[in-house]
Amino acid sequence: MRKILLLIISLYIYYINQSMFLALGDEIEAGSASAKYMAITMILIIVISAIVVFPHIFKKMDTYFSKFFFWWMILGLINLTITFDSPFTLNHIILNSLFFVLQYFLFLSFYWIFYNDNIDSFFYKIIVLCTLIISFFYYQTYSIIQALFDTQVNTSYFPLYLTPFVLCIPNKFWRLSLVAIMCIIVFSSLKRGGLIALTLALFVYYWVDTFCKNESINLFKSALLAMLILAVLAIGAITLDNAMNKDVLIGRLQETKEDGGSGRDEIYDYFISKIRNSSTSELLYGRGFEATKFKNVGIRTGHRTISYTAHNDVLEVIYDFGLVMFFLYLSFWIAYISYAIKLVKQKSNLAAPFAASFALFLILSLISHIIIYPHIVTISMFLGMATGINKRELTINEVNTE
């Protein structure tokens, strides 16, 4: 129990500080105080996770996710160390290497923790507390009023990625309250992709949950409820927007048609062209970690200038890591879908949150970036928890039927 508590506290510190650093505009540059603090925190979590995992190191895990995160870690570390023409310093390489190691060990530790011990209700209380505090820091740094001053708030993704955990909470009051808070956060952040992903995830959750409970899906009721929620949020935000004479929110919505989603169509065309013109080695093994960023920053694509990434995990993985890691990444999608279907067939309580997590992952993978950034850590935690709980419940059922 002490190991579990230490792990959860460490994760709690990790998320709070991640949220605060990014919210305050800290780029977390390699060698900075923030980067060193994050590195120390990650090392602490990895060590605690390793302690949890060590007694089970030779035990077989009947889940593909453990294999995926292992090989993703190995190939990712190799790619980081052989990217000779990258501008990364040793500190930068170490920091990014820790992210690859962290996601693997967190998956394993969460799997074995939840498989061996029924601490579900205790952990859900931690999730409630963690979500509330992260949301508090979000609004302390960027309130709704500040967000409407033509400011996009990327920190909204931190509570957004906690959605699958929140949807597992059995207490209906807390589950619905935290979902409402997340809806407000995502809407006020002016992140269109986040709003689309959250909306789809909640729809998928409702449909799968209704199916697993053998209830009929009332499409009219679900559509009416969704429209009502969105209407209330939209009217409130637009009213405040107009009162401030800013019209920022309306402008952001109008931009979607004009800019193709922050110029994503132009960025996609650019990277597809670059991939088509790749050499054999570049196509197979990629150009190096974050090559989309360091090889293309400042290049004009139509009306846009590339400043960060391809904003699409498929293009990002092929460009950075090549087809070798892309097929590994594709296998992760297949395993994710397969496990979701498995839980639905079992009519597990985890089926709806798990399906919602895949919907979230799918949308944000296609229009943003997850797999090579810290957000994948949250996904690995959830997958470890969900597969561990499901394995524990299946084992108990098998024992009871004998």
pLDDT value of position 123: 86
Instruction: List all residues 6 or more positions away from 141 whose beta carbon is below 8 Å from its beta carbon.
Output: 20, 23, 24, 155
Q: What is the mean pLDDT of each successive set of 10 residues along the chain, which is 402 residues long?
A: 65 63 51 72 86 86 90 91 68 84 92 88 86 78 52 68 92 91 79 83 89 68 63 55 49 52 72 87 86 68 60 90 93 95 93 95 87 84 94 86 68
pLDDT value of position 352: 94
pLDDT value of position 86: 64
Instruction: List all residues 6 or more positions away from 114 whose beta carbon is below 8 Å from its beta carbon.
Output: 120, 123, 384, 385, 388, 389, 392
pLDDT value of position 240: 47
Write down the mean pLDDT value for the chain. Answer: 78
Q: pTM (2 decimals)?
A: 0.85
Is the separation of the CB atoms in 178 and 166 below 8 Å? yes
Nearest by Cα to 170 from 209, 223, 215: 209
Nearest by Cα to 23 from 100, 135, 98: 135
Q: Return the axis-axis angle of helices 351-367 and 375-401, rounded to nearest 10°.
A: 160
Is the separation of the CB atoms in 137 and 80 below 8 Å? no
Per the DSSP assignment, residues forming a β-bridge with 300 are 305
Task: Look up residue 390 and give its two tokens.
Answer: 């499901």
pLDDT value of position 136: 79
